[in-house]
Amino acid sequence: MAPRSYRALGPAKIVETLERLELRISSRFPGSGLSRVCDSLIDVAKQTSQRIEYVSRPNWVLRLLLIVMIGGALATLLYFTSQISSLKGTDELSEAVQGLDALFNLVVLLGGGAFFVSTLETRWKRARALSALHELRSIVHVIDMHQLTKDPSAMGAIRTEQSPARNLTPIELVRYLDYCSEMLSLTAKCSALYAERLSDSVIVDTVGDLERLTSELSNKIWQKITIIETLYGRDVPLPSIEQTSRNPGLS
């Protein structure tokens, strides 16, 4: 039997992977905006497990209120039923019919209230999860902003005053774009934790949209990497084994 840890995403493992990625980015691009974005993503990933644990926890106050409302409706119905069996006269029966109409309205009111209370917990959890997923979506767009100006076709072109700085070598550009792709993938994994713990159709659909967004942006990044391989050959110079062993951040 496969270990349970390989059947579900581990929030701690995602944070650990992000921390290693942040070290790699800081080592190769010290002081870069991308490393700061990754650092912010680490903070969000650490909060994700706490948020999911809090949101997935049952709200016993609402559940107790729901039980009381349903129990009150059933108790009222049983009481009225027991009273009808003891009625004999026509006048009493007429009063019973009037009481039945009032009881029906009461039961409908309690049923509507119980249904509203039963959806409160789901809507509350959904709102908290959607707020967290919106934060992850914002980070995805920030990551995409950092790779927008990393255009391999503009390498070596004459730079004007309005042009962004393009002082990265082909290998550095490949690494930069690869780091962006990794961050997009890990952001999607953070969002997948919500779909894994909350079986809500709206949450699952939102997570699916976020995963599709990160996949499309990652494909765009890898198209740039492919252009670099085409322009400079598929064997883009990589750090030597000796250099990598001395500085693991080069990988």
SS3 236: coil
pLDDT the model gives residue 1: 42
Residues 6+ apart with CB under 8 A from 184: 140, 143, 144, 214, 217, 218, 221
pLDDT the model gives residue 238: 46
Q: What's the pTM value of the predicted model, to 2 decimals?
A: 0.70
pLDDT the model gives residue 19: 94
pLDDT the model gives residue 164: 53
Angle at 85 between CA 84 and CA 91, to 5 degrees: 50
pLDDT the model gives residue 133: 92
pLDDT the model gives residue 107: 67
Q: Which helix H or strand E contains 105, and what residues bound it?
A: helix 90-148
Residues 6+ apart with CB under 8 A from 51: 128, 129, 132
pLDDT the model gives residue 186: 94
pLDDT the model gives residue 188: 94
Supply 239's token pair.
């750090």
Low-confidence stretches of the chain (pLDDT < 50) are 1-2, 89-90, 157-158, 162, 238-246, 248-250
Number of H helices, E strands in the chain: 7, 0
Residues 6+ apart with CB under 8 A from 232: 170
| Spatial separation of the C-alpha atoms in residues 149 and 94, rounded to whole Å | 83
